[in-house]
């Protein structure tokens, strides 16, 4: 691409921006990132500001059995959700059947441990599962009850309902 007298390699530019964002998301400071890439720290800051979707606490979205999980995941990505873990009914049963009881317990404990770092957890599930998650994680949980336990099939969740919940969280 030509800009005046300069010839710009768009691919190189995009690769550099991606590298900067990867370094920052992996925990490097703005200054460390700038030093590695060979740019000013102020540029890293400006780049982050250009792409910023929201400030504030970290938000996770977890739920099952969600039939339209791809639609819900898309909304979560668009709204900048930090962690998304959704399963449909088939996936949740596979999760249980393909593991020993000890493996299931260990994986659930790992997920719960991971969720503790989030400021807000949006949880989609049955009334019983929502109550359980609320009792473990406390008032950080926003529950979206999709039916009485036990739920035996996928539930379709309104993507706009999830978007509205996320936007209310971000606004506060």
Element (H, E) at 121: strand 120-125
pLDDT in tens, 7-43: 999 999 999 999 999 999 888 999 999 999 999 999 9
Is residue 159 located within the same domain as residue 84?
A: yes
Is residue 116 located within the same domain as residue 147?
A: yes
pLDDT at 56: 66
Helix residue ranges, H only, the chain: 10-25, 30-37, 41-51, 69-78, 89-97, 101-115, 127-137, 159-171
Is residue 94 located within the same domain as residue 158?
A: yes
pLDDT in tens, 41-78: 999 999 988 876 556 689 999 999 999 999 999 999 99
Is residue 21 located within the same domain as residue 99?
A: no
The percentage of the chain sitting over the pLDDT mark of 90, rounded to a whole number, equals: 87
pLDDT at 72: 98
Calculate the average pLDDT of the chain.
93
Number of domains in the chain: 2
d(Cα 84, Cα 72) in Å, to the nearest integer? 9
Is residue 125 located within the same domain as residue 77?
A: yes
CA distances from 151 to 17, 50, 89, 124, 126 (A): 45, 43, 9, 12, 7
pLDDT at 158: 97
Is residue 94 located within the same domain as residue 67?
A: yes
Reduced to 3 states (helix: H, G, I; strand: E, B; else coil), residue 13 is: helix
Is residue 70 located within the same domain as residue 43?
A: no
CA 62 to chain centre: 9
Is residue 156 located within the same domain as residue 115?
A: yes
What is the extent of the structural domain holding 33?
2-51
pLDDT at 53: 53
pLDDT at 95: 96
Is residue 35 located within the same domain as residue 64?
A: no
Is residue 47 located within the same domain as residue 69?
A: no
pLDDT at 51: 77
Is residue 91 located within the same domain as residue 39?
A: no
Is residue 42 located within the same domain as residue 116?
A: no
CATH of the domain at 88: 3.40.50
pLDDT in tens, 116-169: 999 999 999 999 999 999 999 999 999 999 999 999 999 999 999 999 999 988
pLDDT at 49: 84
Could you tell me the pTM of the whole model? Answer: 0.69
d(Cα 169, Cα 26) in Å, to the nearest integer? 25
């Amino acid at each position: 691409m030509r800009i005046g007298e300069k010839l710009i390699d768009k691919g190189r530019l995009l690769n550099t921006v991606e590298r900067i964002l990867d370094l920052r998301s992996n925990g490097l400071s703005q200054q460390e990132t700038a030093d590695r890439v060979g740019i000013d720290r102020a540029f890293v800051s400006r780049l982050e500001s250009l792409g910023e979707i929201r400030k504030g606490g970290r938000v996770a979205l977890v739920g099952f059995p969600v039939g339209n999980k791809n639609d819900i995941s898309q909304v979560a990505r668009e709204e900048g959700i930090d962690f998304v873990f959704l399963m449909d009914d088939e996936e949740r049963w596979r999760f249980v059947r393909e593991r020993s009881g000890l493996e299931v317990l260990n994986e659930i404990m790992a997920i719960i441990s991971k969720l503790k770092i989030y400021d807000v957890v949006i949880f989609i599930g049955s009334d019983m599962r929502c109550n359980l998650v609320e009792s473990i994680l406390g008032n950080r949980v926003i529950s979206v009850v999709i039916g009485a336990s036990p739920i035996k099939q996928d539930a379709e969740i309104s993507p706009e309902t999830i978007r509205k919940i996320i936007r209310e969280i971000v606004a506060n």
